[in-house]
């Protein structure tokens, strides 16, 4: 997937300004940067939830806006920051929505098996028959991620997937991200504020500042003290193990 010269303005101000980069296939790419840097807007444009002003998102050789929605949803899944479920649904019913592009609402035996696997991935078996509105924020987040996993797409886009998760489930979430990539060959794009997670679990980093790409490349090249200090305007310190960032602090 190629992103070429994307721009997006609100009230005349560019929140995404001439952004270009390539999403490496079969890798984990994290989008990082300060609040308001344009990360989530770029993610929204990539997933067609936000209309771009100019530029191109090229997906499998075609402009992503030209894809039929059902066909695109078999190739690309998105989890946004806002996941307010208004319907009275159980966890299993919510996760089943991930199979809609394939089944059209008529679940097959294969669909049911995939749904069960997604629920198990997110350690939600004991909650699968409970209603979403009875769960904690972290449990609801995990249920939404299970729905994305059940969609079984080649590309998985997660906007702040560790939001509302405690350290145990946030760490497990990032381990699942790695499993989706390493074991199933999926391409995962994340928006993350937790730069330690980004450094440890990603293959590539795209850092944004003021709507522009400030740095892009492998983790080791981007997550340096000098780069992070410039991006966040804070003097960072980094501890490494075997050449990879282990702990980033300031």
Rounded mean pLDDT of 24-35?
96
* Three-state SS sequence of 204-243: EEEEEECCEEEEEEEHHHHCCHHHHHHHHCCCCEEEEECC
The token pair that represents 70 in the structure block: 């059902």
Q: What are phi and psi of 154, to 5 degrees?
A: -70, -40
**How confident is residue 120, by pLDDT bands cut at 50, 70 and 90?**
very high
Rounded CA-CA distance 161/197 in Å is 11
Rounded mean pLDDT of 65-80?
92
Tell me, what DSSP letter sits at residue 131? Answer: B
Whether 244 contacts 196, CB under 8 Å: no
Percent of the chain with pLDDT over 90: 71
* Average pLDDT in the chain: 90
Percent of the chain with pLDDT over 70: 93
As a dihedral over the C-alpha atoms of residue 10, residue 13, residue 17, residue 23, rounded to 10 degrees, the angle is -30
Rounded CA-CA distance 53/19 in Å is 12
Whether 225 contacts 195, CB under 8 Å: no
**How confident is residue 164, by pLDDT bands cut at 50, 70 and 90?**
confident
Rounded mean pLDDT of 11-37?
95
Task: Say if residue 231's pLDDT is above 90.
Answer: yes
| Contact partners, residue 84, CB within 8 Å, separation at least 6 | none
Task: Say if residue 71's pLDDT is above 90.
Answer: yes
The token pair that represents 128 in the structure block: 């699968």
Task: Say if residue 131's pLDDT is above 70.
Answer: yes
Which residue(s) pair with 41 in the sheet?
Answer: none
**How confident is residue 140, by pLDDT bands cut at 50, 70 and 90?**
confident
Whether 177 contacts 194, CB under 8 Å: no
- Determine the pLDDT at residue 166: 87
**How confident is residue 241, by pLDDT bands cut at 50, 70 and 90?**
low
**How confident is residue 80, by pLDDT bands cut at 50, 70 and 90?**
confident
As a dihedral over the C-alpha atoms of residue 16, residue 22, residue 27, residue 32, rounded to 10 degrees, the angle is -20
Q: What share of the chain is helix, strand, coil (3-state, %, to 5)?
A: 40, 30, 30
What is the H or E stretch that residue 145 is in?
helix 137-151
**How confident is residue 50, by pLDDT bands cut at 50, 70 and 90?**
very high
Tell me, what DSSP letter sits at residue 125? Answer: G
What 3-state DSSP class applies to 12? coil
- Determine the pLDDT at residue 110: 95
| Contact partners, residue 144, CB within 8 Å, separation at least 6 | 79, 83, 94
Whether 166 contacts 141, CB under 8 Å: no
């Amino acid at each position: 997937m190629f992103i070429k010269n994307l721009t997006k303005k609100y009230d005349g101000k560019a929140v995404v300004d001439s952004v270009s980069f390539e999403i490496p296939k079969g890798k984990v790419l994290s989008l990082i940067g300060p609040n308001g840097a344009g990360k989530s807007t770029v993610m929204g444009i990539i997933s067609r939830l936000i209309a771009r002003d100019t530029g191109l998102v090229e997906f499998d050789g075609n402009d992503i806006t030209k894809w039929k929605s059902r066909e695109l949803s078999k190739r690309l899944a998105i989890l946004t920051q806002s996941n307010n479920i208004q319907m009275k649904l159980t966890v299993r019913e919510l996760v089943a929505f991930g199979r809609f592009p394939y089944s059209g609402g008529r679940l097959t035996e294969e669909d049911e098996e995939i749904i069960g696997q997604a629920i198990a991935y997110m350690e939600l078996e004991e909650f699968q028959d409970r209603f979403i509105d009875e769960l904690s924020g972290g449990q609801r987040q995990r249920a939404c991620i299970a729905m994305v996993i059940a969609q079984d797409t080649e590309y998985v886009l997660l906007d702040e997937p560790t939001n509302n998760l405690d350290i145990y489930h946030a760490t497990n979430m990032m381990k699942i991200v790695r499993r989706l990539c390493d074991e199933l060959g999926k391409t995962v794009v994340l928006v993350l504020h937790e730069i330690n997670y980004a450094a440890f679990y990603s293959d590539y980093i795209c850092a944004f500042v003021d709507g522009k790409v400030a740095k892009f490349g492998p983790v080791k090249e981007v997550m340096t003290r000098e780069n992070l200090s410039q991006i966040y305007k804070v003097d960072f310190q980094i501890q490494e193990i075997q050449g990879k960032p282990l702990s980033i602090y300031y």
